[in-house]
Amino acid sequence: MGPRSRLLILAGWALVSAACNSGRYSAAAFHLPPDGNVERGKAAFVALGCNTCHEVSGAGLPAPTVQPPVPVVLGGAVNARLSDAYLVTSIIYPSYELAPYPKQEITSAGQSRMPHYVDQITVRQLTDIVAFLQSRYYTPRTPEVYR
């Protein structure tokens, strides 16, 4: 079985898992293998040209060059950890759930401006890119209330 076939199987499992759990951030969601490598993921992110459209918070990548600019900044503070399923789906089928930005800035003809990577990415690259992106997000501590 080739890498593209495996990717399609992973994508199917991601979508099924996302549909069967109790929410986008559920602990029961689809998970990639834990061997994703952050540095390889950063390199794959650049090799696939993702950095020409997306800024990644604190990653030290060159500034995006696409025009018009894409307002979707990856990484930074989030209320809850993003699931592997959400990130995988966003990479291989970005039109599935559009980011909460003005639609005219992120779509063309009603679809995400981001290309679908299902035919362009290997499972190894996907696993590493998700590890890289996961390393760039954090959930801030909520202030403790003293009584």
Q: Work out the mean pLDDT of the chain and round it to a whole number.
A: 83
**Which carries the bigger pLDDT value, residue 85 or residue 9?**
85
Which of these, 119, 110, 124, 132, lies nearest to 39 by C-alpha position?
132
Contacts of 72 (CB under 8 A, 6+ apart): 53, 54, 99, 101, 106
Q: Is the pLDDT of residue 68 over 70?
A: yes
In tens, the pLDDT along 115-140 reads: 888 889 999 999 999 999 999 998 88
Tokens of 95: 């039109």
> 3-138: what fold?
Cytochrome Bc1 Complex; Chain D, domain 2 (1.10.760)
Contact between 113 and 99 under an 8 Å Cβ cutoff? The reply is no
Q: Where are the domains of the chain?
A: 3-138
Q: pLDDT of 31-67, one tens digit each?
A: 888 999 999 999 999 999 999 999 999 999 999 999 9
